[in-house]
Amino acid sequence: MKCPRCGGTLRCRRVPPGIEIDVCMRCYGLWFDRGEAALWGDLATDVPGIERIAGKGRGQALTCPRCGGRLEEIRFAAQRHLALDRCTTCHGIWFDRDEILEFDRMAEKLRASGELESILDAYRDAEYPEFRPLHPRSSWEIVRESILLYQKNFPAFFTILLLPVLAIVAAGIGQGVVENVDSRFHVPALEGQLLSGFVSLLLGQVATGALTHAVSERYLGRPVRILSAYRIALMRLFPLLFVGLSFGLVTFLGIGIVGICIGVLRPILLARGMSSLLFLLLLPGLGFTLWFALRWLLTAPVIVLEGRGPLAAMGRSADLVRGFRCHALGVLLLLGFVFSVAPHSLGSLLSLLQRDGIVAGGGRLLLEAILLPLFFVALVLLYYDLRVRKEDFGIEEIRGWIEKEG
């Protein structure tokens, strides 16, 4: 790598407590990758020339030696005179040699007075500038913040969900083309529907895991890496698939309960002239399905973000939601309102798409791909909100968690 300040060669050096940093052998500046600097609080190095006094200003734009991104100047909240350069893409930090000496001098003076931790906190704030202390939010605040977060990161979130959608569409089109070319490859209706449903479920769970990881990364101030998100999703695929099948089973049982209630009680209500109460027959099945849906609502975030197995994740989700079911239901109802209003804002586009059956189907899939990431954004924010409410999950816990996971 090349020094962003003078263009010299960066050499890797290991310093206490076992951190590998990159040192410019010409100007003796230091480069910390993301996460390294947050672990560093008592750096003592014997790199030759590090004690020389530097004297250059900050007139020119700098380029990240790790990823080529743009470096921006940041200042400590507690020590405004100390400015560092942070990459806007990979969040690495560049120290000029005078800055590293200044930091060491401050640390030496403040270590005895017990104020060193405030300096380290300021450094961590610089490394994770989008961190904010977490606090409980209302259902509307969660949905509103979800919309804002989705707007800011629409290209990444939409791309993550669009790729599985395109794969599902391509599989359906490919099956139709093969069947039209050679009837020997015709798949019976039932088997074809089952195969199509399983493929859709499989790709849907991949998208669920990838989106959950990506949303959490952005919410905590880290850059989204699409390939990394898919890698995490594939690592968690079996638990996600198990949960997806469980949701499908619960939905099927709920429909079955509705069917039984209608078959048994409908003739009785009609015979007694109580047809206006027929809608009540839907309540047992809907209540059964809704109870499990709320109980397992946060299973995907738990699996992806905590790495738990499917059964443990179901129990963990139930523990988080317990006592806050109305709060979680409020988020779902508000999301349902947003999803019902959003298509009307695209009315002219939908009317154009509906002129052709195939195009209309593609248009519906596209609309779902646009709206569905908002659901996962809200789920992740609800997950953090309930952890804050029930576990006092704050910024310090998240910082340690990030370093452990990253």
Whole-prediction pTM value?
0.60
CB 35, CB 403: distance < 8 Å: yes
Across the range 187-209, mean pLDDT stands at 70
Query: What confidence tens digit (pLDDT) does each residue in 103-122 have?
Result: 666 656 655 555 545 544 54
- Residue 221: pLDDT band by 50, 70, 90 thresholds? low
- Round the average pLDDT of the chain to a whole number and report it: 72
- Residue 298: pLDDT band by 50, 70, 90 thresholds? very high
Q: What pLDDT shows up at residue 331?
A: 93
CB 34, CB 399: distance < 8 Å: no
Rg (CA), the chain: 27
For 24, the enclosing helix (H) or strand (E) is strand 19-24
Residues contacting residue 157 through CB under 8 Å, at least 6 positions apart: 150, 211, 214, 215, 224, 373, 376, 377
- Residue 19: pLDDT band by 50, 70, 90 thresholds? low
Q: In terms of Cα–Cα distance, which of 195, 196, 204 is closest to 165? A: 204
- Residue 334: pLDDT band by 50, 70, 90 thresholds? very high
- Residue 87 in 3-state DSSP? strand
Q: State the Cα–Cα distance between residues 342 and 367, nearest whole angstrom.
A: 9
Bigger pLDDT: 132 vs 56 = 132
Q: Report H helices in 220-324.
A: 226-235, 237-271, 283-295, 299-306, 310-321
Q: In terms of Cα–Cα distance, which of 122, 94, 97, 117 is closest to 107? A: 117
Query: What confidence tens digit (pLDDT) does each residue in 42-91 have?
Result: 443 333 333 232 333 343 468 888 777 778 776 654 455 666 777 777 77
CB 298, CB 382: distance < 8 Å: yes
Q: What is the phi/psi pair of residue 51, to 5°? A: -85, -5
For 13-22, 23-32, 162-171, 352-361, which range has the lowest pLDDT when averaged over its residues? 352-361
Q: What pLDDT shows up at residue 319?
A: 92
| Domain extents in the chain | 10-127, 139-405
